[in-house]
Chain A
Amino acid sequence: MSLLIIIPAFNEEGRVGKVVRDVKRSLPQADVLVVNDASSDGTAAEATAAGAITVTLPVNAGYGAALQTGYKFGVRNGYSIVGQIDADGQHKAEYLVEMLSALEAQNVDVVIGSRFLDRDGHYQPSLARAVGIGLFARIASLITRQHISDPTSGLQLMRINVASFFCSEVYPTDYPDADILILLHRTGFQIREVPVQMLPSPGDSMHAGHRSLYYVYKMLLSIFVTMLRPRPRPAP
């Protein structure tokens, strides 16, 4: 079993190295790939120094495009499990260990680290963010007929056939969210959430592209057209 952890990073100098070392400490068997989304600082050098494989996008392409680059790398280099973690230090890599055992033990294809599942209130997002996440968590839960609490989570682990599915044009290259979970469900992949603790985002992360009103509009439209499209078939 070979494992690849993808860290999409945009201007994360001073944080990305720590995340890489954190992942390597928790999962010594994993390869770590930092996808540098045309950062203007020393993100790539810091990632390489910390022992990560780095790929650098020549121009800034956004969170989804950076993640998809990682999936393509994973598929082409024959990894069997692909994970992702944010570069800003919001996630603790130790939860990837639990998520890995959840993925291996159960008959699931995708494991998502949820910051709301254990309901201990450790994570307090801003009101607008909480309303947005809550709305799409509710919609995703209704459509997939299973409890989804954190569709926005950037802490995920998946089997390679899911990553391979994400390498096609089904994947949104701006910011994947509840729409992609609904797409996975419609394709027949099994999703499981695992409770994790997250620190509040230090702010200027790649997720900050969620300009609230546009985000709500885009996600509603995306979910709507996802439901209108025929059910996709996963790549063989």
Chain B
Amino acid sequence: MISTNLRIIAIAGSLALLLFIIELVRRRRLKEEYSVLWVTTAIVVLLLAAWGGLLHDVTHVLGAISQASTLYFFGLIFVIFLLLHFSVRVSNLERRVVAMIQEIALLSANRPNEGANDRPGYEQEGSAP
């Protein structure tokens, strides 16, 4: 069994996390789409902490010695998933940013034959301006 203190901290922590995520979504600081993994993390840790029988069984299945490590294990697994999720998002963002950089560049194409007269000091090589 995990200590009562650890149980209370785990329950309070995951509840606080859950409420904080909902508050962030309510204030539109976090998009619903990105809240999925966070809410899952909070709920799984909350379930494991509050439901002693479940934690006992899962610890047995995992072959872990301490039930506390089962809690940490699930916390860590979700953190890794979250980080991977962000790497995917960053790659996607990078692709979009490059596409936009290119569009901006193409909009600003500067042709030497056009509008040559309104650029002072401009001379085209080999022909009179």
Contacts and interface: CB of A to CB of B under 8 A. Distances in A.
A25 B37 CA distance: 60
Contact of B105 (A48, A56, A169): A56
Contacts of A220: none
B124 A51 contact: yes
Contact of B125 (A50, A59, A73, A76): A50
A152 B123 CA distance: 36
B98 interface: yes
A52 B106 CA distance: 14
Contact of A61 (B98, B109, B112, B123): B98
Contacts of B101: 57-59, 61, 65
Interface in A30-57: 35, 44, 48-57
B125 A53 contact: no
Contacts of A48: 110, 112, 122
B95, B105, B123, B125 — most chain A CB neighbours (10 Å): B105
A55 B112 contact: no
A42 B99 CA distance: 24
A21 interface: yes
B108 A173 contact: no
Given A35-B105, A51-B125, A57-B102, A169 B112 contact: no
A68 interface: yes
A169 B109 contact: no
B122 to A, nearest CB: 8
B105 A55 contact: yes
Contact of A53 (B95, B110, B122, B123): B110
A69 interface: yes
Nearest to B121: A49
Nearest to A68: B102
Interface string A67-78: 011001100100
Interface of A: 21, 35, 44, 48-59, 61, 65, 68-69, 72-73, 76, 169, 173
Given A56-B110, A169-B95, 16 more contacts: A35-B105, A50-B125, A51-B126, A53-B109, A55-B105, A55-B106, A55-B108, A56-B108, A58-B104, A59-B101, A61-B98, A65-B102, A69-B102, A72-B102, A73-B106, A173-B95
20 contacts: A21-B125, A48-B110, A48-B122, A49-B122, A49-B125, A51-B124, A51-B126, A53-B110, A53-B112, A55-B109, A56-B105, A58-B104, A58-B105, A65-B98, A65-B102, A68-B102, A69-B106, A72-B102, A72-B106, A169-B95
